[in-house]
Structure 1
Amino acid sequence: MDYQNIKYEVKDSIAYITMNRPEVLNALNAALLTELRHCVDTMYKDVRSISGVIITGEGRSFVAGADISELLDEVPGKSPSVSERFMDGVEETYQTLALLENYPRPVVAAINGFALGGGCELSLACDFRIASTKAQLGLPEATLGLLPTYGGTQRLPRLVGISVAKELIFTARKVKADEAKEIGLVNKVVEPEELIPAAEELIRTIAKNAPLSIKYDKIAINKGMQMTLEEGLRLEKALGGLAIGSEDGKAGIAAFLEKRSPIFEDK
């Protein structure tokens, strides 16, 4: 696909996705979301050559929400009901963000500016959020009579707690980077020029470890958060069994016993 609304490249085993509609602060429209889904599908096909993913935005915004101008537009071949069209679009975005959330490699949102509405929700589907000192995050949908519907009402409380999530969603207020760090919404705050290097450093640190371990860790955490403690522990045990029986598990133990660095092959 010839991308018009995003930039995508893989360099030194890191995949970079850059939202590229700076004239509208990288607002999410249907075309961009279609390209993002294609991009994520491509990353799955190329997963063995990718150690991690960085998502950021062109210009002064990460993603400043959904493209409001499209919300009420009729679409040829789609339902005449705005509610049905909206829910169909949300379902497609759910699928894309779920694929991103469960990608076997670490995914870092490098938040360079506004991450509002759908942009904040996109960052919530990532494993880590590193924010520039210029970043602002929030879910302002209530000011439009709407709800956060790209996962905001579900992922945000799981990340920062129910009470804090309710405050942010009900008040629709934006939080600056330092406060976002304080409430656990972002992992780290850096100066703008350090944003991408900080994301790259995190990915390279993780990449020193066994890719299979990271994959299973991610499954255990993401799925376990939706389970009872007992169910989560059983999942952890099952994945631990797979890991210790894997080639990488055996290689890691052997290297430890022989006091040398392991060579992992993602097997």
Structure 2
Amino acid sequence: MEEIKVETTDDGAIRTITINRPDKRNALSRAMFEELQQLFEVEPPPTERLTLLRSEGNVFCSGIDLNERLVHGAPPLAEVCEVIHDYPLPVVARVQGDAIAGGAFLALFCDFVVAAKPARVWVSLVQIGLAPPWILTRRLTQLATPALARELVLLGDPLTAEYLAEAHVIVSAVEPDELDGEVDRIVGRLAQNAPLSLRAVKATLAAQPYQELPHDEVEAMIVRARDSEDGREGVKARLERRMPVYAGR
């Protein structure tokens, strides 16, 4: 079974990337991260107008496969989110269900997030002894108000897509049976626009100063949390469905 599927419309205007691991709640393995990174690092053909990122099943993406993380360490989540953010053409995320941890960032780094109202965005890393990479948290502070960004990453509790749409963090939240129609509306409208104009506007929007801020000390703190005993304990506790016991080291 292909865990990442890629399809293109006959006219080449719309590329669709599908995360296809519904039996694992679309958790991303290291190989899947690497494939996604490669897909967004390629130069799009002249006919392309946009990419649609979607998934199979009831969960959009539950983030990093925790079993793999215990063995192989942190996968390139920040790198994948950055190449999505920097992709030369618009990227639309279709979020039919929960977007958790890395899956939340995957969606929020897209240019448009269209979600079903009950879907939840859940940046739960702090609850398992981890911290999001610098660039991902900084992106949240641009997408949301400082108070909402803190609610997402410091509490680590889920927020509904409807709530985030009302806060203008995502573009749209609709009833589940209206999701595909709303996605088609936005995708269709983007596909009508001139590709060179889309590229110019996307490049302007992607040129954000937060990438230039010095943050070596903060990055070191994130790495310490990621590689700590507490980080491993948090991941193990989540896999074992128990409360973690943190030691502060």
TM-score by structure 1 length?
A: 0.72
Structure 2 unaligned spans of 5+: 213-249
Against the structure 1 CA distance between its residues 151 and 26, is the aligned structure 2 distance closer, same or farther, given a 3 Å change threshold? farther
In 2, distance between residues paired with 1:227 and 1:35? 24
Bigger radius of gyration, 1 or 2? 1
Q: In the TM superposition, what are the counterparts of 1:10-21 in structure 2 within 5 Å?
A: 10-12=8-10, 13-21=13-21
Matched-pair identity in %: 30
Secondary structure in 2 aligned to 1:195? helix
The structural deviation recorded for 1:37 is 2.3
- Say which SS state the counterpart of residue 66 (structure 1) adopts: coil
Give the conservation status (yes or no) of the 8 Å contact 2:114–2:173.
yes
User: Alpha carbon RMSD of aligned pairs, Å?
Assistant: 2.2
Structure 1 residues 14, 113: closer, same or farther in 2, change over 3 A?
A: same
**Preserved CA contact (<8 Å) 2:165 2:172:** yes
User: What is the CA deviation profile of residues 144-198 of structure 1, one whole-angstrom value per residue up to 9, with x for unaligned ones?
Assistant: 0111238431211110022210122111110112111122221101222332332
Find the aligned partners of 2:26 and 2:134 in 1 and give their Cα distance.
16
Which structure 2 residues correspond to residues 89-168 of structure 1 after superposition, within 5 A?
A: 89-90=75-76, 93-149=77-133, 151-168=135-152
Are the structure 2 counterparts of residues 224 and 69 from structure 1 closer, same or farther at C-alpha, using a change threshold of 3 Å?
Answer: closer
CA shift at 1:97, angstroms? 2.4
* Mapped partners of 1:119, 1:218: distance in 2: 22
CA 1:11 to 1:191, structure 2 compared with 1: closer, same or farther past 3 Å?
A: farther
| 2:59 counterpart of 1:61 | yes
Q: Deviations over 1:183-236 (max 9, x none)?
A: 2221101222332332232122123332212211111122145499xxxxxxxx
- SS of 1:72 mapped into structure 2: helix
Greater shift in the superposed pair: 59-68 or 178-187: 178-187
1:46 to partner: Cα distance: 4.1
Contact 1:5 1:35 in 2 (8 A): no
